[in-house]
Amino acid sequence: MPVRYQIVGGGAGEISASVEAGVRAGKLSPGTVLPPVRRLAEELGVAPATVAKAYQTLRHRGLVETAGRNGTRVRARPPVVPVRLAPWRVPELPPGLRDVSTGEPDRTLLPRLGPRLRRLATVAAEPVGYSGSGPWSELVALGRERLAADGVPVDRPGTAVTITSGALDATERLLAAHLRPGDRVAVEDPGWANLIDLIAALGLERVAMPVDDEGPTVDGLRQALDAGAAAVVVTTRAQNPTGAALSPTRASALRALLAESPHVLCIEDDHAAELAEVPLAPLAGASGSWAFVRSVSKPYGPDLRLAVVAGDEATMARVEGRMRLGAGWVSTVLQRLVVEIWRDPSVGEVVERACREYARRREALLAALAARGVKAHGRTGINIWVPVPDESGTLAALRDQGWVAAPGSLFRLNSPPAIRLTVSLLPLSDVDALADAVAAAVVARRGTPAGFTR
């Protein structure tokens, strides 16, 4: 789309600031193509190298991306907040549209926090001072037990456990503690959109690792390591968006590769945790620098911003050190609440029911799509990945039939076009209607070249 916002500036810093101001003001919307370097240099009366440096700064900050022959454009989700928008407020859909795009959990399947909060009020009534802050010993001990039961080597000498404010917070701290702008990070392709955007915002370079139903491919990891990746991020189960889960065979092969690169940081994201339907096949400990991250948000509620992180002592010391210089610690009230949740057997029963129900909805939609000749992926978790000939055309056709899905472009680097469907809020009574709509949209686009819209 043409740029109508006038970029100004006489130096690289001023030019990059002008672009950022346009993004914040909503005048340079996501996907907007910026002027070519030479053309903007002529308009501003500066050297092309000045504009190139400004664009490089914007790329390192994750505001723009290079789209090959399509030039430089504003990222789909730049890491700045538009002045008139609140990012936590999702616009309401027009009447008649059903949303299978958000990735939200079903709140009716989450455990109620009220009884645990009341219990907490009786056992943790006294205030905690600065000297009593940090990882709560009871939570760390319970976290160790739960990770050890799943085969994470937390009892190995030289291993430590800490607490962060969620999985993405842990990943950001881990990458910042080990890497510097320009370093390469191997990420799943397709993979978690928030992680892809975070890596761009940190000024790191993404190296795509292809994913199949068993996780990152062996060749994909090998090529990423050969390309100089200094860190690798892998989702163990319920991968977003494909539902992939590491199989024991795949994990063994990946561990062998990581063992040959002991200086590479390996981060595992087990965000589904107790909601996962398959046993854990961890990579933890395969490389010299490693971290295993388990969030409590998916099983127990998005508002519980907490993750248990295990890893080698040096890596965990860096994470805790950086936390002390910033946020300080995760609230001990929140940490104690998680202890109460984990110690309550009835909560475990609620999570098990949720796990079964999500699986029932996912399997029902996969079966319905297969019956209509539509190939889809969703081995675990709440998402289904549907390859399509053309994303924009398929999404438009779905919307015409009353459905809103997530574009695959948010999750892709080099992988082919697809859409993501979230089943967590999908009633079984709507499965056939959604499958009919997807099948009609996909069949209508077959034979259409990818990226081409009629």
What's the pLDDT at 450? 40
Distance CA 111, CA 109 (A): 7
> What is the reported pTM?
0.85
What's the pLDDT at 125? 63
Architecture of domain 12-74: Orthogonal Bundle (1.10)
What's the pLDDT at 452? 30
In 190-333, DSSP assigns E strands to 205-212, 215-216, 229-235, 265-269, 289-295, 307-312
Domain ranges of the chain: 12-74, 98-105+347-445, 127-343
What's the pLDDT at 116? 85
With b for 16 or more beta-carbon neighbours within 10 A and e for fewer, the 23-39 pattern comes to bbeeebeeebbbbebee
Architecture of domain 127-343: 3-Layer(aba) Sandwich (3.40)
Q: Please give the average pLDDT of every successive group of 10 residues along the chain, which has 454 residues.
A: 74 88 85 89 89 87 78 83 52 80 91 87 73 87 96 94 95 93 95 92 92 97 97 97 97 96 95 93 94 95 94 93 85 92 93 96 97 96 96 93 94 94 96 96 64 32
Residue from 318, 319, 274, 326 nearest 298 by CA: 274
What's the pLDDT at 401? 94
What's the pLDDT at 86? 47
- Fold agreement between 12-74 and 127-343: no
Identify the CATH number of the domain defined by range 98-105+347-445: 3.90.1150.10
